[in-house]
A and B are shown apart, each in its own frame.
Chain A
C-alpha cells in the first residue's frame, strides 16, 4: 500500500467532495421554518402547551377506552366472580392473600394477588403504559423532543439542570426506573443528583397516573400541578444548596421527519415489555407482602404509631399508613388502596400527594443504588425533608381554605 503525500491527500479529498457534495445556495424549507418556530420561546411555548395537551388527551382517551370500556367489566363481572366461586377456603389466609376480601364487588377493593394485582397490572397499567410510550416514541422519532430540550433549557437551568433533563423527566412519567438510568446523559454529579432526586419524588409514573385517573379523576389536575410546583421549587432549592456546575447544553437538533411504523412498533414493544418485566413481579409480590403485613397486624400497629403524624401534621386518616408502606413496593397499588379508605376529597388529594412524594418504589430504589450509595442516601435525606414540609404545607393550605 502506497502512502499519499499531503498534496495528494488534499487532491483526493477534492475529488471525493466533488462527487458527493452538492454546492449551492441553501433554501429554507417549510420543515426548517416550523423547526425554528418550535424552539423560539414566544412561539415554541404555545406549541409545547398544545403538544402536552395532545399527550394528555390521547393518554386519557386511550387508557379510558381499554380500562373503563373493557377491563373493568372483564375483571369485575367475570374474573372476580369466577375466582370467588372456585377458590377454596373463604376464611383462610391463603384466600385473603390471593383473592382478597371475600365481600369485595370489584377488583380495585379486593386486594388479592390474583384480583387487584392482575387488574392493576393488566387492566390499568398496561393501557396507560402503551399510550404513554407510543406518544413518547412519536415525539422522539419526529424530532420534537430535542427541540423541546432547547426550548426548556432556560427554565431547567434555574433548577441546576439543562434542557436535556427533559428526557429523564418525560421518561419518568412512564416509569422512574429507565428515567434514573437516563440521568446519565447529564454531565455533572450535581445535575445527576438533582435530577434523580426530584424525579423520584415529584414525578408520578405511568402506572400511578393510570390509577389516579381511576381514583381521583376530578382532582387529578390539582395533584399534578402541586407535584410540578414541587419539582420546580425543590429543584431551585437543591441548585442553590448543592455545590457543582451546570454546563451549557450543546446538541445537534435533527430535522423533522415522519416516524416509521416499524421503528415505533419496535421501540414500543421494547419499552413496554421491559417495563412489565420490572413492574409485574413487584405488583404481584407487593400484593403478597402487603396482605401478609395486614394479616400479621403490622400495618395496624404502624398506623397507631404514626397516627399523630398522619392526623396532626398531614391531616389524613391513620389508615393511610398501609398504603404508604405498600407504596414502597408499588406506588400504583398504594393509590388503588387509598380508594378503599373513607376520606374527604381534600384528604384524598393529600393522601395521593403523600404516596407520590413518599419513598420511591423498590425498583427505583434499586436503580438509584446502582448509581451510587452516596447519592441514594442524599436523595433519602432530601426526601424526608420534602415529605414532611410539602405534605404539611398541603394540610396548611386546606386549613387556610377552611376545608380541613
Chain B
C-alpha cells in the first residue's frame, strides 16, 4: 500500500510538474496550444499564474512521496491535491457561469449552447482533478488501518 501510493503520487507529481512547466512555456510563447481534448491556455492569469500553481502542486506531490505514511508527508500530498482542486474547481465554476447567460440574443442560453460550454478541450488541471481525488481514498484507508490497529491492541 505504502509503496504503491508513493509510486502513484510520484507519477501524478511528475505529470503535474510537466503540465505546470508546459503552462508557463506556452504563456511565455504567447500563443495557446491544443492537442485533441487538451488545451494549454496562454493568458498570463490561467497559463502563467495558474501554471505556477500546477507546478507547485507537482512539487508538493514529489516532496510528499518519501515515507508517505508519515502525517507531515501526507499533508504535502494533500496540499498538492488542494492546489489542483483550486485551479480545476474554479475552471469548472467559470464554465458554469459562462454556460447560463444567453449573451446578446436572449436572457438564458439554449440547451445546445449550455452543453457546448462543457465540451472539450479542457485545461490540464481538469485532467489532473480525478486523479488528485485518490488522496481521499488513501487518507480514509490509512485512518481505518490505524483504528483497526488500535482495536487489535486493545
Contact = CB atoms under 8 A, between A and B. Distances in A.
Interface residues of A, number: 29
A87 B147 CA distance: 74
Nearest to A34: B75
Ranked nearest first, the 4 interchain pairs of A and B with the lowest CB-CB distance are A69-B101, A33-B75, A46-B56, A65-B97
A37 B83 contact: no
Contact of B107 (A37, A47, A60, A73): A73
A46 B53 contact: yes
Given A30-B78, A47-B79, A53 B97 contact: no
A46 B53 CA distance: 7
Contact of B49 (A29, A47, A49, A64): A49
A267 B87 CA distance: 26
Given A30-B75, A47-B79, A221 B93 contact: no
B28 interface: no
Contact of B90 (A36, A37, A58, A70): A58
A277 interface: no
B72 A58 contact: no
A253 interface: no
B56 A50 contact: yes
B30 to A, nearest CB: 14
Given A53-B49, A53-B87, A70-B101, A61 B79 contact: no
A57 B74 CA distance: 27
Given A61-B90, A61-B94, A221-B44, A47 B78 contact: no
Q: How large is the interface on B (under 10, 10 to 19, 20 to 34, 35 or more residues)?
A: 20 to 34
Q: Which of B53, B76, B139 has the most CB of A within 10 A?
A: B53
A33 B72 contact: yes
B71 A30 contact: yes
B79 A69 contact: no
A14 interface: no
10 contacts: A30-B78, A33-B74, A33-B75, A37-B79, A46-B56, A46-B83, A50-B86, A61-B97, A65-B101, A69-B97
Interface in A48-96: 49-51, 53-54, 56-58, 60-62, 64-65, 68-70, 73
B108 to A, nearest CB: 9
Given A53-B86, A53-B87, A69-B101, A34 B93 contact: no
A28 B83 CA distance: 22
Interface in B86-123: 86-87, 89-90, 93-94, 97, 100-101, 107
Most buried by B among A30, A50, A221: A50
Contact of A221 (B45, B86, B139): B45
B60 interface: yes
B52 interface: yes
B124 interface: no
A37 B53 contact: no
Interface in B120-143: 139
Contacts of A28: 71-72
A287 to B, nearest CB: 27
